[in-house]
Amino acid sequence: MSIRTLIAATLVAALAAVPAQADTVTVAISDFHFTPPQTTVLAGDTVGWRNGSFINQHTVTSAGFDSGPIVPGGGFFHDFADPGPQLYACSIHPFMTGEVDVYRLLLHGPDRAVARGAATAVSGRAAAGVGPVSIEEDTGAGFHAVATAHTDRGSFRATVHPNANASYRAVSGTDASPPVQVEVTDVSQFKLRKARGRLRVHVDPLNPGARVSLQLRLRERFGWWTVARARLDARSSASFPIRLRDRRNARARVVLTQSDGWTALAVSDAVRIRARRAHR
Amino acid sequence: MRLRAVAALAAAAAIMVAAAAPAHASVREYWVAAVPVTWNVVPNGHDAIMDESFTPAQTLFPTVVYRRYTRGWKHPLPNSMAGSQPGTAIPGPLLHARVGDRILVHFKNEDTIFGQPHSMHFHGVHYRPISDGAYLPGFSGRDGDVKPGQTWTYRLQAGRDSTGAWPYHDHSPSMDQSIGGGMYGTLSILGPRERAPDREFVVYFEFTKGFATVDGRAFVGNTPVFRSRVGDLVQWDVLALGSEHHTFHVHGHRWREQGTPRDTKTVGPAESFRIRWREDAPGTWLYHCHVEQHMMHGMIGIYRVSGRRG
């Protein structure tokens, strides 16, 4: 075998060895508990147990595998190829139990409540050999498809627009991910920050594309008066130039509105803003 | 040598005269489109004087308005001139000319929400019937019935009898709906040697979404906040459309009409007048229609005069 062939073979091997988005999940063994006691993994993922006890040996034992005694500070790894639940226990301390649930599709949703109707990203992973993935929603009347996921090397993502608290799952053929819950809220939190002559606003929950207005409290307008408009960017933020007419400072607030630009969905607390230079 | 110098001077003088000529009788071109907007009659949400509140559902409506553009309708422009009210969509653009000018108004109908025909009909100026902008079945041309997506150029002449502030408005088959929705504006024409004012305020009395409005807005704070300084030459262009008469009144000020002091003047549908004074009264003043029902339903605003420029 020539050196060139050897290099080519090594490269092919290296490419083939790129993990198909496989993940390693760690479970701690301490205080006579497996933590977390339940773990969800994708078929092909690895679970590692680490014995954090100072003096006690433990085992990870199930119908399909057995670690044998794991000394304090030691560990054990097992690859899970087949979908389904795998119950395990410590054979030395049988009251210590745990569970690994293996799926061929996994889905992740937002880790906090989202604004009603907001464009919400969901993403996940598919095991090797899984075909096109669709996203299904259930708001109480059963699951139905709401989006097609874009898949790339075993990872996929899609955008959903929840109008109510809902469960989502990824589906491909007979494979389905465990459902994830997405909570919807009408309560928005504002973070306002003044910097370099601009007022920056971040709105939580994420609401990209939503319309926001900057309002000033103006005596001659007998109340709050809209002076600038913007749309929230992908990070749910926007910024407004601070322009004050005939005055050095004013009370300001930001209003999240419906698409008509006027009907208020949420209003921030008022802050005092100061013009760098008063101008007309 | 001396002769050549004289000839060169004469040529230079001729060029200067030629360059100066358009200042007296120029061609003014305006680009205007009928565009959809969502208009809020009471943006601050209340009548501050009577302490009555309104929701956007009561005050917000989709409509079509005139908007000014750069040449070829490339970029939108503010409707009003400096010293008037910024950010307005109602009334339409304040168009300026001087007696002797030719005025070309290029109009484009971009009504995508109602899909209605629109037009521009101008008061106070000279034009041929094809620039009348009024719809008359069997007689009028495209000028009075510009369909969505179409354009028309109105060719007007500011004659010796055209000095003043004049209304223009939609006179197409949709005028009944569109004028109430804000399709009107002002053509302000100066006399041949008349000085332009320092401040020009447009006050348009009309009913909008059931409110009595000045420039499409109701109640103090929402209606225009006009501003001037002591010493300014201020001009009020007062106009009305609709079906009612109004009495324009400004607090703390008087003007003369044929020698008689006045502080209130009547304006009926499609009538208009100009009032001028040299400002000498600092303070915050009310202006309003003195027909009491109109005033109570929104035809009232404030006028702020600050001290002389330092």
User: Which of A26-35, A64-73, B197-206, B253-262 shows the lowest per-residue confidence on average (mean pLDDT)?
Assistant: A26-35
CA distances, A134 to each of A114, A156, A161 (Å): 21, 10, 15
> Which residues on chain B are in Cβ contact (under 8 Å) with A263?
56-57, 60
For residue A251, pLDDT over 80 is answered with yes
For residue B87, pLDDT over 90 is answered with no
Query: pLDDT value at position A112?
Result: 75
Query: Do A262 and B284 make contact, defined as CB atoms within 8 angstroms?
Result: no
Nearest residue to A208 via CA among A192, A232, A238: A232
Summary mean pLDDT of chain B = 91
Query: Do B43 and A261 make contact, defined as CB atoms within 8 angstroms?
Result: no
d(CA B229, CA B278): 10
- The closest CB to that of A220, out of B56, B60, B221, belongs to B221
Å between A206 CA and nearest CA of chain B: 25
d(CA A124, CA A107): 4
The tens digit of pLDDT for each residue in A195-207 reads 888 999 999 888 8
> Which residues on chain A are in Cβ contact (under 8 Å) with B43?
225-226, 262
CA distances, B110 to each of A244, A255, B89, B147, B272 (Å): 34, 30, 15, 9, 28
> Which residues on chain B are in Cβ contact (under 8 Å) with A224?
44
Nearest residue to A117 via CA among A69, A68, A182: A182
Pairing of strands A166-172, A97-103: unpaired
Nearest residue to B182 via CA among B172, B194, B166, B169: B169
Query: pLDDT value at position B41?
Result: 96
d(CA B150, CA B118): 10
d(CA A187, CA A205): 8
Query: Edge to edge, what strands does the sheet with B246-250 contain?
Result: B225-229, B300-306, B283-289, B246-250, B264-267
For residue A12, pLDDT over 70 is answered with no
Nearest residue to B106 via CA among B117, B95, B91, B90: B95
Query: Do B222 and A260 make contact, defined as CB atoms within 8 angstroms?
Result: no
d(CA B146, CA B135): 10
Check if A247 contacts B (Cβ < 8 Å).
Answer: no
Nearest residue to B188 via CA among B260, B96, B104, B274: B96
Å between B91 CA and nearest CA of chain A: 19
d(CA A146, CA A167): 12
Nearest residue to B167 via CA among B268, B288, B284: B268
Query: Do A262 and B44 make contact, defined as CB atoms within 8 angstroms?
Result: no
d(CA A40, CA B217): 60
> Which residues on chain B are in Cβ contact (under 8 Å) with A226?
43
Mean pLDDT of B175-193: 96
> Which residues on chain B are in Cβ contact (under 8 Å) with A221?
44, 221-222, 225
Query: pLDDT value at position B18?
Result: 37
Identify the closest residue of chain B to A223 by CA–CA distance: B44
Q: Would you call B213 helix, strand, or coil by DSSP? A: strand
- The closest CB to that of A220, out of B46, B60, B302, belongs to B302
Maximum distance among all Cα pairs of chain A, rounded to whole angstroms = 88
CB-based contact B303:B287 (threshold 8 Å): yes
* Ramachandran region, residue B20 (left: φ > 0; alpha: ψ -120 to 50; beta: rest): alpha
Which H or E run includes A133?
none
Neighbours of B25 (CB within 10 A): 13
For residue A237, pLDDT over 50 is answered with yes
Measured on CA atoms in the order A101, A102, A105, A109, is the torsion positive or negative?
positive
For residue B93, pLDDT over 80 is answered with yes
CA distances, A119 to each of A160, A214, A233, B141, B154 (Å): 6, 23, 12, 49, 47
The tens digit of pLDDT for each residue in A44-85 reads 999 999 998 888 999 999 998 999 999 999 999 999 999 999
> Which residues on chain A are in Cβ contact (under 8 Å) with B225?
220-221
Q: How confident is the model at residue A150 (pLDDT cuts 50, 70, 90)?
A: confident
Among A211, A260, A267, the strongest candidate for a mutation testing the B interface, having the largest count of B CBs within 10 A, is A260
Q: How confident is the model at residue B133 (pLDDT cuts 50, 70, 90)?
A: very high
Which H or E run includes A13?
helix A3-16
Pairing of strands B233-240, B246-250: unpaired
